[in-house]
Amino acid sequence: MDRQEARERAARLVAQMTLEEKMSQLRYDAPAIDRLGIPAYNWWGEALHGVARAGSATSFPQAVGMAATFDEELLGEIAGVIAEEGRAKYNAYSGEGDRDIYKGLTFWSPNINIFRDPRWGRGQETYGEDPYLTGQLGKAFVRGLQGDGEYMKAAACAKHFAVHSGPEAVRHSFDAVVSPKDLNETYLPAFEQLVCEAGVESVMGAYNRTNGEPCCANKPLMEETLRGKWGFEGHFVSDCWAIRDFHENHHVTKTAAESAALAINTGCDLNCGNTFLHLMEAYEQGLISEDKITQAAERLFTTRYLLGLFDETEFDDIPYSVVECDEHLKVAERAAEESIVLLKNNGILPLGGGVKTIGVIGPNANSRAALVGNYHGTATEYITPLDGILHYAQKKAAESGEKIRVLYSEGCDITQDRIEHLAVENDRISEAMIVAENSDVVVLVLGLNETLEGEEGDTGNSYASGDKTDLLLPASQRTLMNALAESGKSVICCLIAGSAMDLGSAQDNFDAVIQCWYPGARGGEALAKILFGEVSPSGKLCVTFYHDDDPMPDFEDYSMKGRTYRYLEADPLYPFGYGLTYGNVQVKAAAFTKSDAGAGSVELTCVNESDTDTGDVLQVYVSLDSPDAPPHPRLCGFKRVSLKAGEEKRFTVELDPYTFTVIDGAGERKAFKGPAVLYAGTSQPDALSTRLTGTEPAALLVQAD
């Protein structure tokens, strides 16, 4: 069904409603209108990395982990699985007459905010720090979720529009002041791509203000840019209870009725919260017209018609048996494998046949909570790193009779810092040291979980409302690290966390370092395959890893100066785009081809100069000699590839259509004319990447006109 037909049907239906009935449909928990045959519908659904909060579902790596795959095709496939399981659940629940929260087909995902500051607890929900990568992966996710059939399979939502990335503690009252250049160069591009290129069905406003106006009633963002310049035709939804913030925290209105009116009049169609219960009061005070109410209702029912909720569709027979089916679990495991990033390897990996006893140590080694991050569903089976290593050991023994002993110690509490518990901590460290002493190699699994970083209100990290105050691991874990560093044993450090942590000590003292993110319910299986060489690691960092003692801008400063790889002023610990493999993919030749339709493409001849099959990510960066360009080359193209041992292949990497453009101080995009440099390789073109990988990207001098 095309949008015009859905809009016409919505208009005819809404025209039959009373004013009170129209208003009732603008709440996230819209009630039934029996006389018109309209069932109740709850708009609140979550699907960040699997159908969330609605029972069992396939569990994928957290969004930041999915971003580390640099794999658009995979993101689309993951979203397709989520949509199928969402439909299966909707069919089953509605068949039981259950139309409650989290059981609909409108999913408030993806989160395409820019992870500009590593302290932000919700950064784990994003696709990293780069606007181009975020836009490409976000588009793939939206297309996979919504599908391309007669009806939408599910409705996606781009959030949180538009300048939002912490701090969590002040988000309900905070004004994110941003320059026109940073707004249009960093914070808006991904939203524009999802609206204009992927046709995302809804957009969610953020809690904070942007340049003085609340994001759920922001005229420049919502009227001039979203619906004006970009031509957005879907519906706009508030973040939950964000409209209440207008009068309680932002103080831009005085009453709930004024807040409801401000939101409706600026184009917010759907209220997650209860402030729209005051719409009638606002109407009676002359603050809103019935036309505005009608417009919002028609937009919402257009979405319901596009989903086929009043028709028979091809999705009605999707059975509940698809939830966590074998095919979906295989996609989740492949995603976990592609997301894991190898940061250091002195040759210890993959583990060889000489390893007879493995010590698995650390508070996240056998933690289910550490697998899933926030906004997650419930898995039928959780495979922790300890489980995965045990499974491999059992498999090895069954196949070859070669026995691998696995010893385990929690080592320390994940966050215990208090002095009165030192005796317990010392006891745990003693056990960890005993395990290490009796092992050939130690797999140390550290990190965080959703109680230590996440969304304000959903976390136990009350002192920082879900954000981190620094980049250090909790003191208990640092004590354990120091003890193992002094043990003389070979140690592989695996970090399970949703953000950049200071791994300087691990880099200096341990044999290998691996970033696992929150890998999903079966992530331990993927990690074991990488440790033992069944799979070559191939993930890349979608965020910069800093040293903790590097000076960082104030968290509340939304200027990009000094932030992310594009504007960084210090050497990072690990750069954006970095990640090692067990192979050795080299770019042997590169050629640029202009295009009338866009910026063009780069053709790369690559060879895997190793005896190991591997995946890798080809990356193209552009450097423009313009005062309006970022000081460092920026990502403008990427492609995930696979190469067998010794194989040589040609690949084409399409470039961002805006590759040869810059954003000036007024926020206007301008064409760049003159010589430009394109860098093509498997990492970022900086000295640190070259030093860490041992390879240097190919450089192409091209003419931009």
Give catalytic residues, as residue numbers: 239, 453
In angstroms, rounded to a whole number, what is the distance separating the alpha carbons of residues 349 and 514?
Answer: 11
Provide the residue type at 518 as one letter. Answer: Y
Contacts of 91 (CB under 8 A, 6+ apart): 315, 316, 317, 318, 319, 320
The answer to whether the beta carbons of residues 638 and 582 sit under 8 Å apart is no
In 3-state terms, what secondary structure has residue 504?
helix
Q: Which residues are within 8 A (CB) of 115 and not within 5 positions of it... i.e. 6 or more apart?
A: 64, 123, 126, 127, 128, 129, 165, 499, 542, 543
- The H or E element spanning position 344 is strand 341-345
- Rounded to 10 deg, the angle between the 385-400 and 523-531 helix axes is 50
- Report which of 221, 228, 189 is spatially closest to residue 659, judged by C-alpha positions: 189
Dist. CA 676–CA 626, nearest whole Å: 10
**Residue 179 tokens, joined:** 């320059």
Strand-strand pairing, 441-447 and 357-361: parallel
**For residues 230 and 512, what is the distance between their CA atoms, to the nearest angstrom?**
47
Q: Count Cα atoms within 13 angstroms, Cβ side, for 372.
A: 23
How far CA 126 is from CA of 96, 114, 137, 140, 619, in Å, comes to 34, 7, 10, 14, 20
Question: H-type helices in 456-590, by residue range?
Answer: 475-485, 504-509, 523-531, 564-567
Can you give the three-state secondary structure of 200-253, one letter per residue? CCEEEECCCEECCEEHHHCHHHHHHHHHHHCCCCCEEECCCCCCHHHHHHHCCC
Please report the DSSP string for 65-88 in residue order.
HHHTTT-HHHHHHHHHHHHHHHHH
**Residue 114 burial class via C-beta count within 10 angstroms: exposed 0-12, middle 13-18, buried 19 and up:** buried
Q: Which long-range contacts (CB under 8 A, 24 or more apart) does 366-369 make?
A: 366/408, 366/410, 367/414, 367/449, 367/496, 368/521, 369/449, 369/450, 369/451
Gap between the Cα atoms of 241 and 387, Å rounded? 41
Prior bond to 180 cis, omega within 30?
no
Residues 95, 320: Cα–Cα separation, whole Å: 11
In contact, 175 and 209? CB cutoff 8 Å: yes
475-485 vs 422-437: helix crossing angle, rounded to 10: 30
Burial 360-394 (b: 16+ CB within 10 A, else e): bbbbbbbbebbbbbbbbbbbeebbbbbbbbbebbe
Contact 365, 385 (CB under 8 A): yes
Question: Which H, E and C letters describe 543-571, residue by residue?
Answer: CCECCCCCCCCCCCCCCCCCCHHHHCCCC
